[in-house]
Structure 1
Amino acid sequence: MSYTDEEKIIRGFRDVYNKMAALNKQEMEAALAGYTSTEVHLIEAIHDLTHPNVTQLADTLFLTRSAVTKLTQKLLKKQAITRYQSPANKKEILFALTDEGQSVYEIHRDLHQVFRKRDQPIFATMDAQQKADLLHFLAVYSEHLDNQTANRPTTDS
C-alpha cells in the first residue's frame, strides 16, 4: 500500500512513540512497582502545577474529571498524595505530594534523564535548523490538535 507523506509522518510519530514506550516500559515498571503509568503522570502533574485541582489535572493529562477523581482516590489510598482545601475557595479541593509521592516523582524524573542520555546520540546528529524545524512543526501540529479538541463536545460534565 502506498501512503501519502502526511500518513507516513503520522505513522512515523506513532511508531517512534510506541517503540519508546516499549523500550522504557520494563525499566519504568521495575522502578515504579505498584504504580501505573497514568498514576505516575498524575503525580508528575501534581508536582508541576501550582495549585492542582481536578479540572487542571484533567486538562493537563487529557483525561475526564471523573477519571482524575478515581485516580486521586487510588493515590490517596497509596499515600502518595494528600488533598486540602484551597484557602481562597473552601469548596475547591487541591492536591499535594506526600513524601511517597515525591519519591515516585524523583524516580520517574531520574529515569527520564537516563532515557534522554540513551537517546542523545540521535539528537547529536541533528543541526540547529533541523531541530528548530521539527520543534516548529510539533508546535503547529499540537496547536491544531488543541483547536480540534476545543471544538469537540465534552463527555464529562
Structure 2
Amino acid sequence: MNKEEQVMMSLRELFNKMAWLNKLKMEDSLKGYKPSEVHYIECIGKNVDSNVTKLAKSLYMTRGAISKMTKKLIEKNIVESYQKADNKKEIYFRLTEKGHEIYKLHENLHKEFQERDKVVFEQVTDEQFESMLSFIEKYSKHLDSEIKKLGIDTKLE
C-alpha cells in the first residue's frame, strides 16, 4: 500500500470512528430527528437569509430535496419562511424557537466532542496544523474542480 492509499484509508477510518462514536450521543440527545434534518437545522442556524439555492449548495443536496425537507420542518414548527420587504420574490428560512433549541443542543454536543478530543489537539504543533490544513485545502480545491467538471457549482454566493 502506498502513502496515498494509507492516507485515504486512515482518513476514512478516522471519520468512521468519529461518526460512530458521536452518533451514539447524537441519536440519544436528538431523538426523533434524522441526521439530515439536524444538518439542515445547523446550516440555517449558521447562515442568515438561507434560501433553497444556498441550502442546496451548502448541504450538497438537490433543490427538490431541500424543498421537501423545508416543508417537513415547517410542519414540525422547527423552521419558518419569510420574505424581505425589499424583495418579495425570494423566500428565506430561519429557525423557530424550537429550531433554535435543537440547534443549540447540537452545538453543545459538538463542543462536548471537541472537549473530549482536545487532548490530541493540544499535542499538535502549529507547523503540523499548517501542514494538515494545507493538504486539506489542496485536496478540497481538487475536489471542487472535479465537481465543476460535472457542471455543478458548489460555491455559495
Question: Could you say whether these structures have the same fold, taking a TM-score greater than 0.5 normalized by the shorter chain as the test?
Answer: yes
Please provide the CA RMSD for this pair: 1.2
In the alignment, structure 1 residue 48 sits paired with structure 2 residue 46: yes
Alpha-carbon contact 2:41-2:95 (below 8 Å) kept = yes
User: What's the counterpart of residue 122 of structure 1?
Assistant: 120
In the alignment, structure 1 residue 69 sits paired with structure 2 residue 83: no
User: What's the counterpart of residue 31 of structure 2?
Assistant: 33
User: What's the counterpart of residue 11 of structure 2?
Assistant: 13
Give the 4+ runs in structure 1 shifted more than 3 A. none
In 1, the alpha carbon distance for the partners of 2:84 and 2:37 equals: 23
In 2, the alpha carbon distance for the partners of 1:41 and 1:82 equals: 16
In 1, the alpha carbon distance for the partners of 2:8 and 2:151 equals: 24
In 1, the alpha carbon distance for the partners of 2:129 and 2:109 equals: 23
In 2, the alpha carbon distance for the partners of 1:9 and 1:68 equals: 33
TM-score, normalising length: structure 2: 0.92
Change (3 A) 1:16 1:100: same
Give 1:136's match in structure 2, choosing from 124, 134, 144. Answer: 134
* Aligned residue identity for 2:26: M
User: What's the counterpart of residue 113 of structure 1?
Assistant: 111
- Unaligned stretches of 5+ residues in structure 2: 153-157
* Corresponding residue pairs, total: 152
* Aligned residue identity for 2:30: L
In 2, the alpha carbon distance for the partners of 1:126 and 1:150 equals: 34
Q: Secondary structure at the match of 2:98?
A: helix
In 1, the alpha carbon distance for the partners of 2:63 and 2:84 equals: 18
Q: State the shift of 1:26 in Å.
A: 1.2
**Deviation readout 1:121-152 (Å, 9 max, x if unpaired):** 11112111001100111111111111211221
In 2, the alpha carbon distance for the partners of 1:10 and 1:62 equals: 21
Identity %: 41
TM-score, normalising length: structure 1: 0.92
